[in-house]
Structure formats: C-alpha cells, structure tokens
Structure 1
Amino acid sequence: MTGPDRRSILKALVATLAGLSVGGLDTPVAAAASESWTTQTLEAFADTLIPGQRRFSGDVVVAGAVTGPGAVQAGVVSLLESPQLPVAPLLPAIAALLDARAVAYAALRLIWLSPTRPPFVGLSFSDRTALVGGLFGPDDPDRPIWQVMSLLVGLAFDTAGQQDTVEALGQGHPGLTWLRFPQPDPDGLWRFPEYSYGRPLAELHPNTTASGSPA
C-alpha cells in the first residue's frame, strides 16, 4: 500500500480505541457534511459489518440489507472523523486500501464497477460481505487494521462512543435505542439494584471509595 504504512495506521487505530475507552469524546461530533469518496467507502464498510436500512431512496452507500438502524445511522463516520482521534488523518489511506481490494475482487470475478462511485460502494451487499469476510483471514497482511476498524464500528453503534452516553440517549441515538440501552437514574448515573444471580457475589469492602474503586 502507498501513503502511511500499516504500522502507522494500526498505531493510530489503537490509540483511537484507547482514547475512546478512557471516556469517549468531550463533545458530540456533527455528521459528515459531504459524501466524499472516503466517507462513502467507510460508510459502506461499516454498513457491511452492522447493516441498516437505506437513508433515502436511491441510497447506494447503505445497501439496505435489513430494516432498522445500522452503524451509519449510529454516527460511525462522526466517530472516525473526530479531530480528537488520531485515526482521522489516515482515513483516506484506509479507504483507498479497501477500494483497492474491491478492484482486485471485482477483476477476479469480472464484476463491472461504475467509475462514478468508489469501487467498494459499487459492489453488491453480498460481494461486500464476501470481501470483508476475507479481510479477517489469518493470512491477510492488513488483518489488524480491519480488526480495529471493526471494533470502532461496533463502538459507534453499541455504545455511542462519539458522544456522552446520557446525551446520546436523550437524542435517541439509533444504536442505543435499538439495543434498548437502559436510561440512567435522574442524576445521570446507572445503578443496578437487581443482581444477575439474584444475590450479590461478595460483600462490599469497607474501604471501597465513593466512586466504587477498591481501597
């Protein structure tokens, strides 16, 4: 691949995951203003992993393989493009790498790709799925990149990693709403008075701090 090498891309992806795990982004990020080729390719990749319904008639990026929201509707591009995350400058290289794989995939199968849209977007949903499945093969040299990218896609849908969780719920985040993520208590905190086993597994240590950290 040209441009940033695999090590640089992977380091940025891992740093992005680490930043999100600390507490997410400080502020919600606005949706991408323009559908560049990079954005279209990344959205199509995300829609392949967590598909959703088309956003409008004639939507070719979101394949519409299912009903209900998917990763695109959940704001995956907003998460990836955040200037607070180190992966943002490398997204064109990642999208170009995926499009190159799409060209090779199509050439081997004599699939015609429209020159007016990114190669990966030009594939059918079944072909996108087959291609993406192969990216995770044990012998694929770019496998670590796609593994981390898939984690980011999941974070956008499952946790609204690009937003404060309380705010995301208040705004009806598609992923959290679809998963029926519980609402917090009135003070914005989550408490779970019912134990999954019907009883606490251990007594609370007397020196446990107010935040729940061990002494």
Structure 2
Amino acid sequence: MQPGIPDEEQARTMTLEAFADTIVPGEKRSPDDQAIAGAVTGGGAVVAGAVELLETPATGLAPALGDFARLLNEHARSYAAQCGLDLGTTPPPFVALSFSHRTALVGILTAPGHPERELWVSVALFSNMAFDTAAHMHTLDAIAAGHPGLAAMGFAKPDADGLWRFPDYSYGRRLAGLHPDTTSTGSPA
C-alpha cells in the first residue's frame, strides 16, 4: 500500500486494476506490482487507463466503483474458499488470486445466467475500451503518450497539422466517388 492514500481507496484501485488486467493483460509496472499479474509483455488495460476511464462520469459507473470492488473481493473470498486457496489478509482478495484463478472467476461472473453478469460485462467492456480506443483521452494526446492499445493496433499518426489524411485507400482501391456537392473540406453542401 502507498503512504498517504487511504487503505480503502488503494484496495479499490488495486482490485479494479486487477480486474482490468484480467480482461486485457499487461506487464507489471514494477517488480512489486500486485494488481497487474504480468501475464504478458507490453502494456495492457491498466496502463492504457482502464481505471481512469471507469472513473469518468460518462461511464455512469464511477459512483459505484467502491461497491463493485468490495463485491468482487467478496466473490474472490468465496471462490478461494471453494478452491481451498489461502489468500492471506493483504493484498485485497481478488488481487491475491493468481492470474489463472482471476481469469476463472471473471469467467464465472460474466457467464450467461450469472445474476450479476451485466455489471461485470460492463466493467470488462470499459477495460477493453480503454485499451482499444483511449476513450478517456484525446486521440492526439494518447498517441503522443505512447498509448499501448493504439500502438499495438498500429493506429496511424496524424499529419504534422494534427489531421489524419489517407492518401492510399484502405481496400487498395477507391470504393466510391465524391458526391458532387461535397466541399473542399469534405463537408456536404
């Protein structure tokens, strides 16, 4: 835990990060990183800003994130008991699970028929969204910061003026001509 940050807030953040890392894994930020399991190399959902995206008002989830983390940790305790796992007292229960056990538990929570499925699928979707689109950032800022998802997808950098222009057609051929009323800026007249 980090000094100066209340334990409950740290537990919430670590738990949400561990969930996001289960959805889009990444490498540890440091050797003592407990939230990120380090299942793959390169940045995953956490480094891409999954928690930052979840905390934005636009998601509609921000006010309940503490409750989600507590609920996820309750599920982790129950899961650990069923599997005969000793999670200890720190870190938070979901964080204490190995990556394979985190994945198994998330699979249970997001399975058809689970009563909380919609909640966990929503959190998973935002974790993906943070990685795939950097939805919580301006695209130019994300590219400049080396956003791991945009970089992994090979998202094209804009021209020097900050605009994207594509001189080559993505399908290798022009699919349609411009409408005759299209202005020089690309807008319909």
State the TM-score, normalizing by the size of structure 1. Answer: 0.77
Q: Which residue of 1 aligns with 2:28?
A: 54
Distance in 2 (alpha carbons) for counterparts of 1:212 and 1:96? 50
| SS class of match (1:200) | coil
Question: Which of 44, 49, 56 lines up with 2:18 in the alignment?
Answer: 44
> Residue 102 of structure 1 contacts residue 119 of structure 1 at CA under 8 Å; is this kept in 2?
yes
Give the counterpart letter for 2:54 in structure 1: L
> Residue 113 of structure 1 contacts residue 122 of structure 1 at CA under 8 Å; is this kept in 2?
yes
After superposition, give the CA deviation of every residue in 1:152-175 in whole Å (9 maximum; x if it has no partner): 111111111111000111122222
Distance in 2 (alpha carbons) for counterparts of 1:207 and 1:43? 49
| SS class of match (1:79) | helix
> Residue 69 of structure 1 contacts residue 178 of structure 1 at CA under 8 Å; is this kept in 2?
no
Q: Report sequence identity in percent.
A: 55
Q: Which residue of 2 aligns with 1:174?
A: 148
Q: Which residue of 2 aligns with 1:122?
A: 96
155-164 vs 85-94, which moves further? 85-94
Give the counterpart letter for 1:115 in structure 2: T
Describe the shift of the 1:37–1:164 C-alpha distance in structure 2 as closer, same or farther (beyond 3 A).
same
Distance in 2 (alpha carbons) for counterparts of 1:117 and 1:200? 55
Displacement, 1:99? 1.2
Describe the shift of the 1:96–1:190 C-alpha distance in structure 2 as closer, same or farther (beyond 3 A).
same
Please state which structure has a larger fraction of its residues in helix.
2
Question: Which of 84, 97, 101 lines up with 2:75 in the alignment?
Answer: 101
Displacement, 1:64? 0.8
Displacement, 1:104? 1.3
Matched, 1:90 2:97: no
5 Å matches for 1:174-213?
174-208=148-182
After superposition, give the CA deviation of every residue in 1:42-92 in whole Å (9 maximum; x if it has no partner): 000010111111111122111111111111111211221235653211101
Describe the shift of the 1:137–1:84 C-alpha distance in structure 2 as closer, same or farther (beyond 3 A).
closer
Distance in 2 (alpha carbons) for counterparts of 1:142 and 1:212? 46
| SS class of match (1:36) | helix
Q: Which residue of 2 aligns with 1:15?
A: none
5 Å matches for 1:23-38?
34=5, 36-38=10-12
Displacement, 1:214? 5.9
- Select the structure with the greater relative contact order (CA < 8 A; seq sep ≥ 6): 1
Distance in 1 (alpha carbons) for counterparts of 2:85 and 2:184? 61
Describe the shift of the 1:43–1:201 C-alpha distance in structure 2 as closer, same or farther (beyond 3 A).
same
State the TM-score, normalizing by the size of structure 2. Answer: 0.87
Give the counterpart letter for 1:160 in structure 2: A
| Equivalent residues, number | 183
105-114 vs 178-187, which moves further? 178-187
